[in-house]
Amino acid sequence: MIPRSLLYFTILSGMVTLLNSFGAAASPRRCFCTSDALCRRIVSQPHETEVVVVTEGKSLYKNWMWESIKTVISHNYTDPELMCYAHSQGAKFGFIAKVPGVKSKDDASLADFIKDTKVHLVDTYADVLVLDLLDLVDCTTQADSIGNLTDIVLKVVMEAKPTTSSLTKVMCIVPWKPPCFNNDCGFLINISKDNRGCDFFISNPESYTFECHSTCKARATVPFQKLAIGTDEYLTFIKNQQLLVGIPWHAYDYTCKEMNDNNCMLSKRDNSSDCDYEGSRKKIGLSDWRHTHPNYDGSWDNHQKAMYFNYNNTSDATKHQVWYEGFESLHEKYQFVKQLELKGVVIWTGDDLTYANLNFDMKVSDNVWSWLLHTILATGEVEKHSGFDLAGNMAGVGVGCFLFGTAMGVAIAALLFRKKFMGKRRRPFQKDVDEYHDEDQQL
C-alpha cells in the first residue's frame, strides 16, 4: 500500500497570503501538532470512495478503526488534537459550520459568520469545510427567496474558501431530498455550478423528519423508500460522484401517544400540526443500544428496511416503539451507495459506536461488523477478515434478494437502469414523492 504521507501537500505559502488577506496576525502560524508534517493538508484521489465520520466529541476517537476512515468531521473547530490525530492516520479533517438562517446576503450576521469560518479554516488546517445549510432551507421556504439563498451560499463559499488553493473541498449538508420550490430546483443547480459552490453534498440522516405536514408516527431514521426517492431527485441535478449519504448509527426510542396496529402515533406540539419529535423520542447510540438490549429480537420492516420493536413500560404505563439499525439495515444502505456509485457515506456519528464503548459481552464478529462494512464499501470487496465470516453473520439475509426481490427493489433497479442508460437531466419525479406519501399514510 502507498503510504498516506505521500499524499500530503504543502500549501503553507497560500495560508500565509490568506492570513494577510483578512488582516489577522501576519506572521506564519506554528503547527500545533507534534510534527510539522501533520499540519499539511491531505488531498484525496478524485475517484476515491469517501467514508466520512461525524463526531460530536463525545467519544474516544482513538479507539475508532481508522483504517477505513477517509475523513473525520467535527462540530468542534477548537479541537487541534483531533486534526493532528486524523492526519497522523492519513485521514482528512474538516469542521461543520452552520450557515445562519438569514434572508439576504447583506445581513451583518452572515458577514460575521464568513469572517469566523475563514479564520477557523486557516487555524485548524482543515482539509474540508462542511457547510450546514439546513437553517437556510426548510419546508417553509418560499419560492421568492430562492434567489437570495443562492446568493448567500455562493457568497459564503467564495469568501470563506481560500482563493489561493483549490485543495480545500466544500461539502454542503442538505435535506434528504433537494430543496425545490414549486418544482424549481434552480437553487441546487446554481449552488453546485462550475465549482463556485459546493463540491459535494451530504444528505442529513436526521432531515427525514423535517417535512411539513407529515403523519406523526414513529419511523426509521432513514426510511429506505425516501432514501431512494431523495437520491433519485438529487441525481437529476448533480453528479453521483457529488453526493454522499448520511447513515445513522443510532436507535430512536419513541413514546407513543397511541399505538394501533403497530403504528406508533406521536404527540403534536402545542396546538400545532407539527409533530413533537423532540418530546417523543430518545436517541440511543448503537453500542449503548446493544448494551441495554443484548437479546433484541425486532421485526424487519421491508419498506423502510430497518428494524423495530414494541415494548410497554409497565412502571409509567407508556407504549414504546424503537427503530434501530442492524447489520441488514446498514448493509442495505451501503449497498445502495455502492450500486449507484455515489461518492460515499457519512457515518452519523462515530461516537455512537466507539469500539471501547462496546463493554458488553458479545461475539467478536458482532462487535466489529459495522466497521468492516466500511472497508467493504471502500474496497468494493466482501472479504473474510481474520476469522470473521461475513456471509455467515448475515442471519440468512441475502442482500441481492432484499434489494431485488421486493417492490422497492424493482424501483431501485429501474433507478439504476435509468442512471446507466438515459440522459441525466429531467424533471424531478413529483409523482414518486406523492405516491410515497400516500403509501406512508397507510404504513
Ligand X SMILES: *[C@@H]1O[C@H](CO)[C@@H](O)[C@H](O)[C@H]1NC(C)=O
The site for ligand X (CB under 6 A) is made up of 57, 76, 78-79, 103-106, 144-148, 150, 186-187, 190, 270-271, 310-313, 315-316, 319
Closest approach of ligand X to the CB of residue 318, in Å: 7
- Contacts of residue 160, defined as CB under 8 A and 6 or more positions apart, other chains included, come to 97, 114, 117, 118, 121, 129
| Residue 335 or 354 with smaller CB distance to ligand X | 354
Closest approach of ligand X to the CB of residue 191, in Å: 8
| Residue 147 or 294 with smaller CB distance to ligand X | 147
Rounded CA separation 412/236 (Å): 15
Q: Cα dihedral sign for 312, 318, 323, 324? A: negative
Distances (CA, A) of 232 to 191, 217, 249, 298, 415: 18, 25, 23, 29, 7
Closest approach of ligand X to the CB of residue 282, in Å: 9
| Residue 298 or 409 with smaller CB distance to ligand X | 298
Closest approach of ligand X to the CB of residue 180, in Å: 10
CA proximity to 96, closest of 118, 75, 68:
75
For residues 203 and 230, is the Cβ–Cβ distance under 8 A? yes
- Contacts of residue 31, defined as CB under 8 A and 6 or more positions apart, other chains included, come to 38, 39, 125
For residues 200 and 181, is the Cβ–Cβ distance under 8 A? no
| Residue 49 or 190 with smaller CB distance to ligand X | 190
| Residue 56 or 435 with smaller CB distance to ligand X | 56
| Residue 34 or 315 with smaller CB distance to ligand X | 315
Closest approach of ligand X to the CB of residue 352, in Å: 17
For residues 44 and 4, is the Cβ–Cβ distance under 8 A? no
Rounded CA separation 287/357 (Å): 6
Closest approach of ligand X to the CB of residue 416, in Å: 29
What would the grid cell of residue 12 be? 503553507
**Phi (first) and psi of residue 35, to 5 degrees:** -135, 145
Question: Other CB atoms closer than 10 Å to residue 117's CB: what's the count?
Answer: 22
Closest approach of ligand X to the CB of residue 280, in Å: 14
CA proximity to 35, closest of 84, 70, 80:
84
Closest approach of ligand X to the CB of residue 388, in Å: 32
Beta bridge partners, 430, equal none
The gap from C-alpha 401 to its chain's centroid, in whole angstroms, comes to 26
| Residue 178 or 344 with smaller CB distance to ligand X | 178
**Phi (first) and psi of residue 282, to 5 degrees:** -125, 135
Rounded CA separation 247/396 (Å): 23
Closest approach of ligand X to the CB of residue 77, in Å: 8
| Residue 79 or 440 with smaller CB distance to ligand X | 79
Closest approach of ligand X to the CB of residue 380, in Å: 35
Rounded CA separation 136/77 (Å): 21
For residues 242 and 200, is the Cβ–Cβ distance under 8 A? yes
| Residue 61 or 224 with smaller CB distance to ligand X | 61
Reported residue count of the chain is 443
| Residue 21 or 292 with smaller CB distance to ligand X | 292
